[in-house]
Amino acid sequence: MAEFTMELNDEQKEVRDWLHGFAADVIRPAAAEWDEREETPWPVIQEAAKVGIYSLDFYAQQYFDPTGLGIPMAMEELFWGDAGIALSIVGTGLAAVGVLANGTEEQIGTWIPQMYGDADDVKVAAFCSSEPDAGSDVASMRTRAVYDEAKDEWVLNGTKTWATNGGIANVHVVVAVVDPELGSKGHASFIVPPGTEGLSQGQKFKKHGIRASHTAEVVLDNVRVPGSCLLGGKEKLDERLARAREKARQGGERVKNAAMATFEASRPAVGAMAVGTARAAYEVALDYATTREQFGRPIVDNQGVAFQLADMRTSIDAARLLVWRASWMAVNGKPFTAAEGSMSKLFASETAKTVTAQAIQILGGNGYTREYPVERMHRDAAIYTIFEGTSEIQRLVIARTLAGVPIR
């Protein structure tokens, strides 16, 4: 087990500087354009693929870094560049993690490369769990997966919503109900391979922020996938369902479902995205406060402005520490006895919202316009308290963990 450290090693510093260079030279200059276009920035994803940032290898290297700092460091730098573009670059990772966490070695080897494609022909992937009537309340999911034993195929029907890369993905990972009697314990995840008949994109959403990231409904109409597309395989699913039925009979402890396990593992990473956006806005505000003069002196000479900057930086550093701690715990298999993963996401996402609003205030009228990036950063920051579990749901998870009551 790696000791917890707050110091990046030399190799990590090199990776961080390389990512920062890409974020500063490629992502940030493209941010305003793709925010206005509200389209997936394919050329930027392709650039990221060319230099090796958009690839399974890079992601896996950070994911398995024993210090736990690889993923948060990478997320912070890319989202410092721009949240919408960075989400287009890392969105595939959410689906990939779903396969890494629940798939067999063969499924990992078959599907993850197809999620990314290659630098000449980049692809993206989507993780589809949320539904119109099942957002925070995952247990009320309705999308059904029924096994056709004669053909060894699963048949999927339902409507997913809010799917990042939904409909434009090469590979979709879909969470569906296999046993409605078991509530959230009766869910399973499926790969929907490229070009599968019956999967189509529904409405594409026009959003408040992260507008370079594609978000859409995904409609599943008699989608047939081979038995081998059930993540983890049929035997493992049958065992899990049998255990869940036994526990339900005994009225015993609840078991986590696949979607919740995926969300839990990704929460500190979302916290790190929020730290990146917050740091970006803080840096713009600090620079502005030291150069903008009113009443014959830089505005930072006023305590009212200086104290805001002090608070912004303090919360950003505190958020990063919570994120790094949770990531280290996740990688080293530490039990989250106080829901430290949720804690990190809660604090970092609320920090991003507050800090970006403070940045607008410090820039005055300029902060309110699209001439300066803090307006976009503030719109982008609002997503962090919503996706991967809202702030209210994080508080609920933390409180239930502390109180020792089951988390559904």
Helix, strand or coil, per DSSP, at residue 209: coil
> Least distance (Å) from ligand FAD to the CB of residue 18?
27
Interaction of residue 359 with ligand FAD, rule CB under 6 A: no
Please, is 116 exposed, middle or buried when counting C-beta atoms within 10 Å of its C-beta (0-12, 13-18, 19+)? buried
Which of residues 92, 129, 170, 315 is near ligand FAD by CB under 6 A? 129
- Beta-bridged to residue 177, according to DSSP, are 144, 187
Please give the single-letter amino acid code of residue 226.
P
In sequence order, the β-bridge partners of residue 134 are: 131
In angstroms, rounded to a whole number, what is the distance separating the alpha carbons of residues 94 and 90? 7
Q: Is 141 in the site for ligand FAD (CB under 6 A)?
A: no
The single residue among 33, 392, 399, 402 that binds ligand FAD, judged by CB under 6 A, is: 392
Dist CA 274 CA 347 (whole Å): 9
Which residue blocks in 138-250 are alpha helix, DSSP H?
234-250
Backbone angles phi, psi at 232, to 5 degrees: 95, -20
CB 384 → ligand FAD: shortest distance, Å? 10
Q: Distance between CA 145 and CA 230 in Å, rounded? A: 10
Please, what is the minimum distance in Å from the beta carbon of residue 181 to ligand FAD?
23
Interface with ligand FAD: number of residues (CB under 6 A): 22
| Rounded-to-integer distance, Cα 272 and Cα 278, Å | 10
Contacts of 9 (CB under 8 A, 6+ apart): 67
Q: Is 168 in the site for ligand FAD (CB under 6 A)?
A: no
Nearer to ligand FAD, 165 or 315 (CB): 165
Let me know how many helices (H) and strands (E) the chain has, helices first. 13, 11
Binders of ligand FAD in range 295-354 (CB under 6 A) = none
Nearer to ligand FAD, 210 or 346 (CB): 210
Measured between alpha carbons, how far is residue 203 from residues 87, 117, 167, 218 in Å? 19, 25, 10, 8
Of 172-211, binders to ligand FAD (CB under 6 A) are 207, 210
> Is 390 among the residues that bind ligand FAD (CB under 6 A)?
yes
391 secondary structure, DSSP code: H
Identified binder of ligand FAD from the candidate list 102, 170, 215, 342, rule CB under 6 A: 215
Question: Which region among 50-58, 218-226, 327-335, 385-393 touches ligand FAD (by CB under 6 A)?
Answer: 385-393
Q: Write down the least CB distance from residue 61 to ligand FAD, Å.
A: 23
Q: Does 162 bind ligand FAD (CB under 6 A)?
A: yes
Q: Looking at 47, 131, 264, 388, which residue is catalytic?
A: 388
- Asked if 216 is part of the footprint of ligand FAD (rule: CB under 6 A), the reply reads no
What does the per-residue mask of binding to ligand FAD show for 75-114, with x meaning CB under 6 A? Answer: -------------------x--------------------
Q: Tell me the residue nearest to ligand FAD as measured from the CB.
A: 135
Considering only 387, 397, 398, 401, the residue that binds ligand FAD (CB under 6 A) is 387
Residue 388 falls in the annotated catalytic set: yes
- CA torsion sign for 380, 40, 75, 290 is negative
Q: Give min distance, CB of 399 to ligand FAD, in A.
A: 10
Which of the 8 DSSP states describes residue 25? I
CB of 136 to ligand FAD, least distance (A): 3
Among candidates 283, 192, 196, 185, which has minimal Cα distance to 237? Answer: 185
- ∠ CA 312-316-319, rounded to 5°: 140
Q: Cα separation of 162 and 166, whole Å? A: 8
Decide if 271 contacts 323 (C-beta within 8 A): yes
- 393 counts as binding ligand FAD under rule CB under 6 A: yes
| 12 versus 266: smaller Cβ distance to ligand FAD | 266
| Interface pick for ligand FAD out of 135, 202, 226, 233 (rule CB under 6 A) | 135
Binding segment toward ligand FAD, per CB under 6 A, in 38-46, 53-61, 157-165, 373-381: 157-165
- Minimum CB–partner distance for residue 22 and ligand FAD (Å): 23
Cβ neighbours around 19 below 10 Å, total: 24
3-state DSSP assignment of residue 198: coil
Q: Indicate the length of the chain as a whole number.
A: 408
User: 135 or 198, CB closer to ligand FAD?
Assistant: 135
Residue of 74, 163, 244, 329 interacting with ligand FAD (CB under 6 A): 163
User: In the complex, which residues of this chain contact ligand FAD (CB under 6 A)?
Assistant: 94, 127-130, 135-136, 162-164, 207, 210, 215, 383, 386-390, 392-393, 396
Catalytic residue numbers read 388
